[in-house]
């Protein structure tokens, strides 16, 4: 993982995003390496969410380039990014609570029956969706027995599990998770952190946006610190203290001196 | 490291199983209304020997045919967390277009029917466009189009009832016989429409998307569903279905009546609610709506056979609606 020749899976150079007089991104860079969990932290207004929106196609940056596997890409919508294999788990849990787990996993990507039943009558292949949903959930060791269960019957952590499983099932390059533990209790947060590790074990790099420093330092391989619209430091949690990271984040400590670790 | 995620594992066993059973019972959300329908039928069968005859039951279905068909469109709209107050008025406009085009302009009756259907579908599209593009609440949009369609109907018809219609316009009023029982083609058309709508809602991706849209529009949008297009489509299809309801109305009355359908919007909502579909969207079933429409029809018919005055039938319908929604709410609270 330390080899310097690694090509970043997702890379950004000099991203600028302005909203009227406000400069949300001021020429920020970004690098996500293969197979890592990269946390993005920063104070409110540091440009965290603008950065993530640019990387997931939710906004179009005014300047700068984004590269996926070394090739430049231009995302005009989240759908564009998704087609390129970048999946996002949204903070407010983008699930339909009354629908079954299997329906949620395949929402917008339903499988149709083979032959005339599927092509002419547009019939769903419910059986295949149920079995595939169940295998995706088992991949992440989420122990739910019936994929027919409505999502609203699940606990908060299990619901997050459904959202993560959906992203992990369809992502080919990157999974982005926006504050996945924000709404959860201690025990359930622990489960979601385990889930994030399992996504990495599947070989998918993860971008984790979080306010929760202990969570970030528990799972991240590297931490990208954003401040005033720029990347001010990238640190490794195992040789860096949480309080120093917070100091960089708030500007109490300069970032440049620790960037090349 | 590799803990398996099963929260509440200790208390899981029993409560999980009952939970699952409850949620499965609700996936067959027609069950409650169906039981109510059977109990009511049994009650009226005991009260009146004429109730359970084929002729009488065929009559009940004919009586609910128009409201039932309108309620199919209403169900689609309500599933998206909308509501359509304009459906009766749009239907009335459709009937006037069909009958006037076929008589006054001497147009081929099939072309006249097509014109009426198109007008209704366009009104639906207008509703959908106003809801999605201007972001107005469906209640307000359809309250507006209710008045517009109502006024157009009266202006265009000049308050005149249109009669002496060509046979093709009343085709669905014709009957065929099964044994002693005469059944109209119109009732068959209604059942076919219910089946088709059920099929689309339950067996196709579009159906899943409609439920998701009503359940959590933001989630539907984020999974890449074009929610605006879907909503406009739902309102347009609902409009088309109101047009078909109009055709069925013509076949029953043999005239184009500008006064028709004035309370049908509320009656169709009654059928949807009695059928167990949630007014908050995303939950329910079109088969429930069929049962809901039949419940209204059976109560009216049964009470009539018992000699109860018609105003009391209305009173009982009101009580039924409140009862149905309370039972639904209670069951849902227990589920949580």
pLDDT at B4: 44
CB A44 within 8 A of CB A33: no
Residue of B210, B221, B223, B276 to mutate for A, most A C-beta atoms under 10 A: B223
pLDDT > 70 fraction of chain B, expressed in percent and rounded: 90
**Interface size, chain A vs chain B, as Cβ–Cβ contacts under 8 Å:** 108
pLDDT at B30: 61
Residue B252 pLDDT exceeds 50: yes
A213 interface with B at CB cutoff 8 Å: no
In this prediction, residue A49 has a pLDDT band, given cuts at 50, 70 and 90, of confident
pLDDT at B141: 97
How confident is the model over B186-213, as a mean pLDDT?
96
pLDDT at B9: 37
- Separation between Cα atoms, residue B264 and residue B91, nearest integer Å: 9
- Separation between Cα atoms, residue A210 and residue A220, nearest integer Å: 11
How confident is the model over B236-247, as a mean pLDDT?
98
Lowest mean pLDDT among B94-103, B135-144, B315-324: B315-324
pLDDT at B5: 44
pLDDT at B67: 97
Tell which A residues from 39 to 58 touch B, by Cβ distance under 8 Å. Answer: none
pLDDT at B6: 43
Residue A259 pLDDT exceeds 70: no
Of B3, B7, B220, Cβ closest to residue A158: B7
How confident is the model over A51-78, as a mean pLDDT?
92
Nearest CA in chain B to A83: B224
Lowest mean pLDDT among A203-217, B79-93, B315-329: B315-329
Tell which A residues from 77 to 116 touch B, by Cβ distance under 8 Å. Answer: 78-79, 82, 88, 90, 92-100, 103, 107-110, 112
Residues of chain B in contact with residue A100, where contact means CB-CB under 8 angstroms, are 27
Contact check, Cβ <8 Å, A107/B24: no
Render pLDDT for A123-161 as a digit per residue (tens, 0 to 9): 999 999 999 999 998 888 888 878 999 998 888 888 888
- Separation between Cα atoms, residue B8 and residue A254, nearest integer Å: 46
Residue B179 pLDDT exceeds 90: no
- Listing DSSP states for A233-245 in one string gives EEE-GGGS-HHHH
How confident is the model over B83-91, as a mean pLDDT?
97
pLDDT at B335: 58
In this prediction, residue A182 has a pLDDT band, given cuts at 50, 70 and 90, of confident
Lowest mean pLDDT among A64-73, A183-192, B6-15, B132-141: B6-15
- Separation between Cα atoms, residue B122 and residue B117, nearest integer Å: 9
Residue B27 pLDDT exceeds 80: no
Q: Give the minimum alpha-carbon distance from B20 to chain A in angstroms, rounded to a whole number.
A: 7
Residues of chain B in contact with residue A150, where contact means CB-CB under 8 angstroms, are 23, 26-27
Q: pLDDT: is A243 or B120 the higher one?
A: B120
Residues of chain B in contact with residue A146, where contact means CB-CB under 8 angstroms, are 20
pLDDT at B2: 41
pLDDT at A256: 63
How confident is the model over A202-222, as a mean pLDDT?
93
Nearest CA in chain A to B280: A98
Q: Give the minimum alpha-carbon distance from A250 to chain B in angstroms, rounded to a whole number.
A: 32
Residue B255 pLDDT exceeds 70: yes
pLDDT at B217: 93
In this prediction, residue B229 has a pLDDT band, given cuts at 50, 70 and 90, of very high
Residues of chain A in contact with residue B204, where contact means CB-CB under 8 angstroms, are 121-124
What is the length of chain B?
336
């Amino acid at each position: 993982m330390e080899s310097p020749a690694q090509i970043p899976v997702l890379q950004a150079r000099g991203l600028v995003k302005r909203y009227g007089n406000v400069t949300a991104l001021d020429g920020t860079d970004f690098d996500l390496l293969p197979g890592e969990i990269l946390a993005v932290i920063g104070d409110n207004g540091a440009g965290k969410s603008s950065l993530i929106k640019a990387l997931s196609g939710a906004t179009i940056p005014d300047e700068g380039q984004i590269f996926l596997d070394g090739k430049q890409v231009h995302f005009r919508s989240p759908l564009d990014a998704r087609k390129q294999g970048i999946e996002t788990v949204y903070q407010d849990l983008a699930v339909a609570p009354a629908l079954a787990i299997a329906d949620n996993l395949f929402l917008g990507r339903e499988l149709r029956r083979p032959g005339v039943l599927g092509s002419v009558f547009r019939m769903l292949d419910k059986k295949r969706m149920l079995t595939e949903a169940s295998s995706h959930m088992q991949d992440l060791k989420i122990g739910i027995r019936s994929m027919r269960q409505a999502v609203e019957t699940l606990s908060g952590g299990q619901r997050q599990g459904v959202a993560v499983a959906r992203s992990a099932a369809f992502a080919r390059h990157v999974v982005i998770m926006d504050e996945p533990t924000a709404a959860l209790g201690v025990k359930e947060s622990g489960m979601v952190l385990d889930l994030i590790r399992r996504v990495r074990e599947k070989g998918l790099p993860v971008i984790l946006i979080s306010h929760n420093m202990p969570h970030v330092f528990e799972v991240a391989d590297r931490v990208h610190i954003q401040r005033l619209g720029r990347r001010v430091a990238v640190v490794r949690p195992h040789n860096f203290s949480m309080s120093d990271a917070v100091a960089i984040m708030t500007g109490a400590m300069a970032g440049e001196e620790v960037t090349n670790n | 490291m590799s803990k398996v995620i099963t929260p509440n594992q200790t208390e899981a066993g029993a409560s999980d199983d009952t939970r699952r059973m409850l949620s499965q019972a609700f996936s067959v959300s027609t069950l409650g209304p169906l039981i109510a329908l059977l109990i009511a039928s049994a009650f009226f069968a005991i009260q009146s020997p004429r109730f359970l005859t084929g002729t009488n039951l065929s009559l009940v279905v004919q009586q609910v045919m128009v409201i039932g068909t309108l309620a199919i469109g209403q169900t689609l709209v309500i599933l998206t967390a909308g509501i359509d107050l304009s459906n009766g008025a749009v239907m009335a406009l459709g009937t006037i277009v069909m009958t006037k085009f076929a008589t006054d302009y001497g147009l081929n009756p099939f072309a006249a029917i097509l014109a009426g259907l198109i007008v209704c579908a366009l009104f639906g599209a207008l509703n959908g466009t106003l809801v999605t593009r201007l972001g107005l609440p469906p209640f307000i949009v359809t309250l507006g189009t209710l008045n517009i369609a109502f006024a157009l109907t009266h202006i265009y018809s000049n308050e005149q009832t249109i009669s002496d219609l060509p046979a093709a316009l009343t085709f669905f009023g014709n009957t065929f016989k099964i044994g002693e029982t005469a059944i109209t083609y119109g009732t068959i058309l209604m059942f076919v429409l219910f089946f088709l709508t059920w099929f689309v809602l339950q067996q196709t991706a579009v159906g899943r998307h409609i439920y998701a849209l009503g359940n959590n529009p933001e989630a539907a949008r984020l999974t890449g569903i074009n929610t605006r297009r879907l909503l406009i489509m739902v309102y347009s299809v609902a409009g088309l279905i109101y047009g078909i309801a109009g055709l069925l109305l013509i076949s029953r009355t043999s005239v184009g009546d500008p006064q028709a359908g004035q309370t049908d919007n509320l009656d169709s909502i009654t059928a949807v609610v009695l059928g167990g579909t949630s007014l908050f969207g995303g939950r329910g079933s079109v088969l429930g709506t069929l049962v809901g429409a039949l419940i209204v029809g059976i109560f009216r018919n049964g009470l009539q056979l018992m000699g109860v005055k018609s105003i009391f039938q209305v009173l009982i319908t009101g009580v039924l609606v409140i009862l149905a929604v309370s039972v639904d709410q209670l069951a849902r609270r227990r589920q949580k």
